[in-house]
Amino acid sequence: MFEKILIANRGEIACRIIRSCRAHGIATVAVYSEADAGSLHTEMADEAVCIGPPPARDSYLMIDRILEACRRTGAQAVHPGYGFLAENALFAEALEEAGIVFIGPPPGAMRAMGDKIESKRLAEQAGVGIVPGHPDAVRSLGEALHVARDIGYPVMIKAAAGGGGKGMRIAHDDAELEEGLVRAQSEAASSFGDERVFLEKFIARPRHIEIQVLGDRHGNIVHLGERECSIQRRHQKVVEEAPSPFIDAATRAAMGEQAVRLARTVGYHSAGTVEFIVDQQRNFYFLEMNTRLQVEHPVTELITGRDLVWDMIRIAAGEPLGFSQEEVAFSGWAIEARIYAEDPARGFLPSSGRLVWYREPEGDGLRIDSGVFEGGEVPIYYDPMIAKLCAHGGHRDEAADRLASALDAFVVRGPAHNIPFLRAIVDHPIFREGRLSTDFVAEAYGERFHGRDLPEDVRRMLAATAALMAYREAERACRISGRLPGPDPRPERCWAVELAGRPYDAEIEEDGGPARVRIDEETMTLELAWRPGRHLAQARIAGVVRNIQVDPASEGYLLTHGGAEMRALMRSHRAAELAARMPEKELPDTSGLVTAPMPGLIVSVAVVPGQEVKAGQELLVLEAMKMENVLRAERDGVVEEIHVRPADAVAADQLLVTLG
């Protein structure tokens, strides 16, 4: 067994690998860019080596610098995690030549499966079903149009190298194909150094289901069941679970057999994932094979009891699997939610900045894989993942309930994040019923998420909670020391609560035990665990405990619960009466100001001053966190002024274009 392993990655996956190594007494080496100096993975590792400037191409993708770090520290093996060099055959070969073990599959298998065009040929030869499409990379727009019309719209444009949703677009007609081809080729070249793309038929309402395989160097290969990864946004997975609520035992066995057969065909060892597209009749087609550990591997670990990182290390050291397919057993259900620094209200554009508050939830069946800490930074240079929150239960509903409660209690302040969006998904009827497809997010939420509506009983509970919090704050203020002589003040017991525009009349009774709160004509007994200044409150009503996040706001609170953010205005009856007489303030019209939703680099500008534009028309392209984001006009107008040029670096909220 290795004595020292270098982790050629960053963030949560680097921390995850370090934890497994630490559990088995293996020393670890972290590598980091200048942007990651002082990050969590560098603090956790036994040693840390700086390998370059912030951009990944100058640090985490520099093979020679990682080799030098191995030589300096005496690392005997390298675990690549996922992303960066994880599926780079040249990296694996360079390590082998240097006498360092690559903890992953053989380079030949990576080459065969890393090229999506070649992998489809091999899958077909191995008897694995594939999606109808064009077998070669398209060389021009004219050829792409010909192929798309031949296959029939809609078609999927996909990068031949890489994955993770980058270099991938859906086209429903010639115009979308033309724009999508340019964006896909540009993202593919930027992310993988290979701009080749190919086309295949887009299957309507598909499920994305993958099989986890594990093979050793002695020819033993097994599968560890499936993961349901159909909840995606722009081809990026959002929520994953194991097992799938759709797959039956016969389909699982057939998919597993094909996945193992493909892995055997390419001489695979280590952990890998064979991804399938599954239609509504459970017909499944090979999509691609990821020759690495997957982001969503924890859900498989939770239902199988295995440590896939440790299995990869054992296999790389030459040990046999030690178990057979018949010995693979599943227990319960696991669901993972990916928490990202992104702004759902701005079309899920990436966010960055300092984590001013960061508190992970606790509870039965929870697992959190994270690579951040309170006070740390989410940099602009890399994938904006904050953490992966996983919940395990005896059955799917229990896992979903645990995940929902944990999301309500996950406190993140600083960068914008997607926790309310994830929380809304977990409560959505389609999710709860397991009727999923890769179209779910687009159909349920569109391109933006502005929160969800809550049932009236939950709103009343929030109104009662806000009233009790206001009473507690008033009560504390009445006890302040150093008051002038006079009658003892009494806290306000009656409140006019306005919750997201809906008025409620509240009255508090509290005499040492649980408070009694009257909301309009209903009285409820409420136990509240909260102190002023805390971001998290726990409210218990009729035996049900709810986690509510609290932020101060003018004349009240901003409450977050169940995927909804609601402003609670708290006033005495007299103050509410006077406020009703105040004139409404008109908000300025800012629809003509196009600003940068995040820091980034201007890739291109598609308009000129004086040009008329329509709502939805492309204005410019902003690259941030390895993704190209098209910024469009919010309304019809005329371009008055363009404030940036291609290659300009811009800050968040910087003015880019003015429309008249």
Q: Which residues are catalytic?
A: 288
Between CA 343 and CA 352 the distance in angstroms is 10
What percentage of the chain's residues is helix, strand, coil (to nearest 5)?
30, 30, 40
Q: How many of the other CB atoms lie within 10 Å of CB of 130?
A: 17
Q: How many of the other CB atoms lie within 10 Å of CB of 165?
A: 15
Q: How many of the other CB atoms lie within 10 Å of CB of 437?
A: 22
Is the bond preceding 55 in cis, omega lying within 30 degrees of 0?
no
Between CA 113 and CA 272 the distance in angstroms is 10
Query: In angstroms, what is the C-alpha Rg of the chain?
Result: 27
Q: What is the DSSP string of 504-546?
A: EEEEEE-SSSSEEEEETTEEEEEEEE--TT-SEEEEEETTEEE
DSSP character at residue 2:
-
3-class SS of residue 486: coil
Question: Residues near 2 by Cβ (< 8 Å), separated by ≥ 6?
Answer: 26, 76, 77, 101, 313, 316, 317
Between CA 72 and CA 66 the distance in angstroms is 10
Between CA 315 and CA 109 the distance in angstroms is 15
Residue 449 CA: distances (Å) to CA of 75, 431, 453? 46, 17, 12
Among 658, 653, 650, CA closest to 633: 658
Between CA 616 and CA 602 the distance in angstroms is 19
How many Å from the N-terminal Cα to the C-terminal Cα in the chain?
Answer: 68
Question: Residues near 93 by Cβ (< 8 Å), separated by ≥ 6?
Answer: 107
Contact 403, 330 (CB under 8 A): no
